[in-house]
Amino acid sequence: MRNALSVDVEDWFQVGAFEKVIGRDSWETLPRRVEANTDRVLALFERAGVKATFFTLGWVAERHPALIRRIAAAGHEIASHGWDHRRVFTLGEKEFRADLDRAHQAIEAAGGVAPTGYRAPSFSIDARTPWAHAILAERGYAYSSSVAPIAHDHYGWRESPRFAWRPVAGSDLIELPVTTVSLAGRRFAAGGGGFFRILPYRFSSWAISRVNAAESRPAIFYFHPWEVDPDQPRVGNAPLKSKLRHYTNLSRMRSKLLKLMKAHAWGRTDAVAAAEQARLP
């Protein structure tokens, strides 16, 4: 069972949790670390012998085209994470189309390949955005991995399916929700991000094995380049909870990821999407 490994390519100052304290108008003045951090991730993947998907902000692709080309040259998938990390439920349909197209053009111009996969910033496709998947289908995307089927303080669409589903009637587009485990009727996040860094390694590894063996489904796992950067600038005026989530266990992340990569089988999200699509009626 091959699981989908993915990286949401954004810088330390672009994360949703810091949105209120770091305005987009200041991004241009902040030291960028995304290129060096993504190179660390590429080195890690090379060491583990895995291919993955890089959901990249158009804003980053426009400023770091050589990085996008290195990712593609190493055999990884370049996909879209939108233009500048605006969450989909804060946009209207017209704005979502514009954000999606601007990112698409920047990524294609940088890497020479048109993205066929999309991940919404902060898993922001949910019950409030019933039009979002239809727009992705209309724009030619093959898959979306934009839904967290759980309840969370920042995001989540609790009632949506835990595994691949077709959100648009008459379209082949599939949604690959980030992995959860179901225990005693409750769903728990198990697809990476802060949960992977903060919880013990054995929980994540067990959850992936459980999804693969007991439910016969691939896991959809993600992390960010800033999570392998313990030396990133600290955002002092952010809410305490956000700071705890963002900075816990950064120095241990690389070895933890390497262990996870060796313990399970991994691949690009487009390959996992194609396999899931073939399985769905």
Give me the residues that bind Zn ion (CB under 5 A), please. 8, 10, 121
Shortest Cβ distance from residue 119 to Zn ion (Å)? 7
C-alpha span between 128 and 145 (Å, rounded): 17
Structural contact between residues 29 and 245, judged by C-beta atoms closer than 8 angstroms: no
Residue nearest to Zn ion (CB): 8
Shortest Cβ distance from residue 256 to Zn ion (Å)? 20
Structural contact between residues 220 and 6, judged by C-beta atoms closer than 8 angstroms: yes
Shortest Cβ distance from residue 88 to Zn ion (Å)? 12
Measured from the CB atom, is 84 or 138 closer to Zn ion?
84
90, HSE (Cβ side, Cα atoms, 13 Å): 13
C-alpha span between 192 and 171 (Å, rounded): 29
Shortest Cβ distance from residue 85 to Zn ion (Å)? 6
Shortest Cβ distance from residue 162 to Zn ion (Å)? 21
C-alpha span between 281 and 273 (Å, rounded): 14
The DSSP H or E segment spanning 175 is: strand 174-175
Measured from the CB atom, is 56 or 204 closer to Zn ion?
56
Measured from the CB atom, is 24 or 279 closer to Zn ion?
24
CA geometry: angle 42, 164, 257, nearest 5 deg: 25
Measured from the CB atom, is 81 or 217 closer to Zn ion?
81
Measured from the CB atom, is 102 or 210 closer to Zn ion?
102
